[in-house]
Chains A and B, each alone.
Chain A
Amino acid sequence: MIAATVPVKEEKNYINAEHGLKSWLLTQDHKRIALLYLLSVTVFFIVGGLFAALIRLELTTPAGDLLDSNTYNKVFTAHGVVMIFFFLIPSIPAILGNFLLPLMIGAKDLAFPRINLLSWYVYMLGGTLGVVVLATGGVDTGWTFYTPLSTTYSNGYVVLTAMAAFVAGFSSILTGLNFIVTVHRMRAPGLTWFRLPLFVWAHYATSVIMILGTPVIAVTLFMLMLERGLHIGFFDPAYGGDPVLFQHLFWFYSHPAVYIMILPSMGVISEVVSTFCSKKPFGYTFIAFSSVAIAVFGFLVWGHHLYVSSQSAYAGMVFSILTYILAIPSAIKIFNWAATMYKGQVRLTAPMLYALGFIGLFTVGGLTGLFLAAMGLDVHVTDTYFVVAHFHYVMVGGAIMGYMAGLHYWWPKITGRMYSQLWAKVACCLVFVGFNLTFFPQFVLGYLGMPRRYHVYPVEFQVLNVLSSGGAAVLGLGYLIPGVYFLWSLKYGAKAGDNPWGATTLEWQTSSPPPTANFEVTPVVTTEVYDYSNTEVPHIV
């Protein structure tokens, strides 16, 4: 679709511009760094997935017959740490955001390409530390590192694990910093704030959380390391320290971190839904501002994790009402996406299926969050499988569905190749069915009272656990298939055009894959970003 005024002179693109390992490891091209992230994040996704498989296998029987208690605890800790710090948080921002942000705003690169590369190395350093912990015996604190268990009683490598998360946090800070400066200063001429794609708005909001929240978890882990390693106590009740203070500090980051995971997904969904309905997103400004509202108010609700932890009941009430208010921007997004489809030209391609799956699952995830925000109900269901089910609906049903939607949507742009729509849709359906089978029974289990992080459990919970494990197998298969057809497409996939979906955002105006400099000429934007009036609607099914 690149216009006639800007002919593509040669086949050179960012992938074949240079060759050799060194050209990748020392690259400052945001697109190549995105691919480095894609590779490493996928490895951690597989590792985290294997731990999940072990957990579900163990829980098929009430007794602890596959793993001993200590190993089981290390396995779920590893699953949590790997999935959260090394997969979910970097997944969309560092891969898709990195690749697309400059393209979408018509820039040649992010503001600080070297810092971008540094962030990948910092991430890899954190990842390496994490792998060292896993290889040398793991840690059993849970990903929440609650004191005094982590500081005094745990028998694993707490300091090293905290160090891994600490280091990975800096990678996230560097990415967020880069995005903020880029959005402020690198936009193409004419690209005003309200012409920005919603994906960019979502990433801007995410970056705000990254740079303001991450340092707090960093200093919390710093204190944790001092206490565990050097006995310089900050939280130890033996000296009058307060373990609840640790929980405040921890959740000040870790609750907004949920929005680091979900906001970029929401950005993806806005793009995908708009493109495959060939229609400007309904309520563009509402969606854009709801992202910012979530980023700001997301910082004021963390105490809803602490209703039963001896936090003041008054503070609990304030956190509860703020949580309910925070639910509104998410609801607004969902309604706007649905309304975007009204009178659109809907094409149920693979990315669109994932996006619709996202809307459904995130709705359930969000609504069950309301259960947990209700103080009286939370007292019963907190720390049970209800919570586990809820946050998996948000993180797997939400964040990962959105990630898959984005990967399928921009795959032709990233690689210049098409994958099989049929297989992609089959995989999407498997993921949807498998996911619900895995996590819906956990809501029931949670209300029955099965606490989370239980290695052995009373026999009456077995049926639901077996259902859940069965679903996990289907879900795992659903995630394996894309790996196959994506790899297949690299060699055998049909060449994708510059704009195979009929999208309007700037990244589709350059070639697929884009050249190193992104655009031959810096684009000048003169119209709204979602103007479909002159775009052909390709029929893809």
Chain B
Amino acid sequence: MSSHAASSHTSAVVGHESAHDPNLKHHFENADQQKESASIGMWVFLLTELMFFGGLFLAYFVYRQWYPAAFISASNKTDVLIGAINTTVLICSSLTMALAVHYASLGKKQLLVFFLIATLLLGGIFLGVKGYEYHDKWVHHEIPGEHFECEGCQDAGHAQLFFSLYFGMTGLHASHMIIGFGILLVLIFQANRGDFTAKWYTPVEMFGLYWHFVDIVWIFLFPLLYLIDRVGRPLL
């Protein structure tokens, strides 16, 4: 557009009026633009996370379609009660996280810290229970590989694929939980120090999105891994 367009540049300088806001990065024009950018960035990141898990889900659907008998009998070896309790725990942590964001937006520091800690604890319980389940599988030689056994499994040869997917999917999920656990610790520290205000609590909000996403993944993993056709079996 050269000289023509250049001459039409207004000399009104945008972007200095909010220079006193310590949380506004220099390259943004205003706090709104910055917040919007963070939010879009986070959502785009969750998109990549969705596709990341998508590959494992695809493998799951393909093999479940091919080897239904193996998948049913292998899935019946998981403990539904533990799975359901863990799902409940994770949903509770999603609630506490939502409330943490809620109180952050109201600028209530005490409640923010309280709910972040509650989220941390619930996440910790989830990981603990998961660890217990892994241990149980280890004891029963249900880890794929040379020493794999699946006592009483129908079509044990293919059942191994189920357990590969079980560990692949829950392992990837758990690693996301562990990363979230680490970030939560930092957030609790920052919140306690009073870094967040009703005007600026973007990190809490963004972490909330991440935490809910991890919850959603589990919402799918629970029925797919624990609840394949338990017809004729007691609920618990």
A-side residues, CB < 8 A to B, are 1-3, 5-6, 107-109, 111-113, 115, 173, 177-178, 180-181, 184-186, 189, 211-216, 218-220, 222-223, 226-227, 230-234, 239-242, 245, 248-249, 499, 504, 506, 508-509, 521-529, 531, 533-535
Contact = CB atoms under 8 A, between A and B. Distances in A.
Given A5-B7, A211-B47, 6 more contacts: A216-B54, A223-B168, A231-B145, A241-B63, A241-B161, A534-B2
A524 B8 contact: yes
A5 B6 contact: yes
Contacts of B15: 522
Contact of A211 (B44, B63, B70): B44
Contacts of B48: 173, 177, 211-212, 214-215
A174 to B, nearest CB: 9
B41 A242 contact: no
29 contacts: A3-B7, A108-B27, A113-B27, A180-B40, A181-B37, A212-B51, A215-B48, A215-B50, A215-B51, A218-B52, A219-B54, A219-B56, A223-B59, A227-B164, A233-B160, A234-B165, A239-B161, A240-B66, A240-B161, A242-B63, A249-B58, A499-B2, A504-B2, A508-B2, A509-B1, A509-B2, A525-B1, A529-B1, A534-B3
Interface string B1-28: 1111111111101110000000001110
B189 interface: no
B52 A216 contact: yes
B52 A219 contact: yes
Interface in B28-51: 29, 33, 36-37, 40-41, 44-45, 47-51
B157 A239 contact: yes
B9 A5 contact: yes
A213 B47 CA distance: 10
Given A189-B14, A215-B52, A526 B8 contact: yes
Contact of A234 (B8, B146, B164): B164
Nearest to B60: A234
A518 to B, nearest CB: 9
Nearest to B158: A240
B40 A185 contact: yes
Given A181-B40, A234-B168, A522-B13, A239 B158 contact: yes
Q: Which 3 A-B pairs have the closest CB atoms?
A: A3-B6, A219-B55, A534-B4
B4 A522 contact: no
B133 to A, nearest CB: 16
Contact of B168 (A109, A112, A226, A241): A226
B41 to A, nearest CB: 5
B1 A234 contact: no
Nearest to B172: A222
Interface of B: 1-11, 13-15, 25-27, 29, 33, 36-37, 40-41, 44-45, 47-56, 58-59, 62-63, 66-67, 70, 143-146, 157-158, 160-161, 164-165, 167-168, 172
A515 to B, nearest CB: 13
Nearest to B29: A522
Nearest to A533: B4
Contacts, number: 172
B62 A240 contact: no
Contacts of B11: 5, 521
B40 A184 contact: yes
Contacts of A111: 37, 41
B142 to A, nearest CB: 12
Q: Which of B7, B8, B70 has most A Cβ within 10 Å?
A: B8
A379 B158 CA distance: 32
Nearest to A535: B2
A108 B13 CA distance: 13
A242 B64 CA distance: 12
A186 B56 contact: no
Nearest to A184: B40
A102 B130 CA distance: 45
Contacts of B44: 177, 180-181, 211
Q: Which of B13, B144, B157 has most A Cβ within 10 Å?
A: B144
B6 A6 contact: yes
Contacts of B146: 231
A232 B167 contact: yes
Contacts of B10: 524
A523 B2 CA distance: 11
Nearest to B5: A527
A369 B86 CA distance: 51
Contacts of A214: 48
B49 A215 contact: yes
A189 B30 CA distance: 13
Contacts of B54: 215-216, 219
Q: Which of A185, A241, A504 has most B Cβ within 10 Å?
A: A185
A234 B59 contact: yes
Contacts of B5: 504, 509, 523, 525-527, 531
Contacts of A5: 6-7, 9, 11
Contact of B36 (A108, A185, A218, A234): A185
Given A180-B44, A215-B51, A524 B2 contact: no
Q: Which of B44, B53, B70, B165 has most A Cβ within 10 Å?
A: B44
Contact of B41 (A112, A226, A241, A525): A112
A227 B144 CA distance: 10
Nearest to A173: B48
A218 B55 CA distance: 9
A522 B9 CA distance: 8
B198 to A, nearest CB: 23
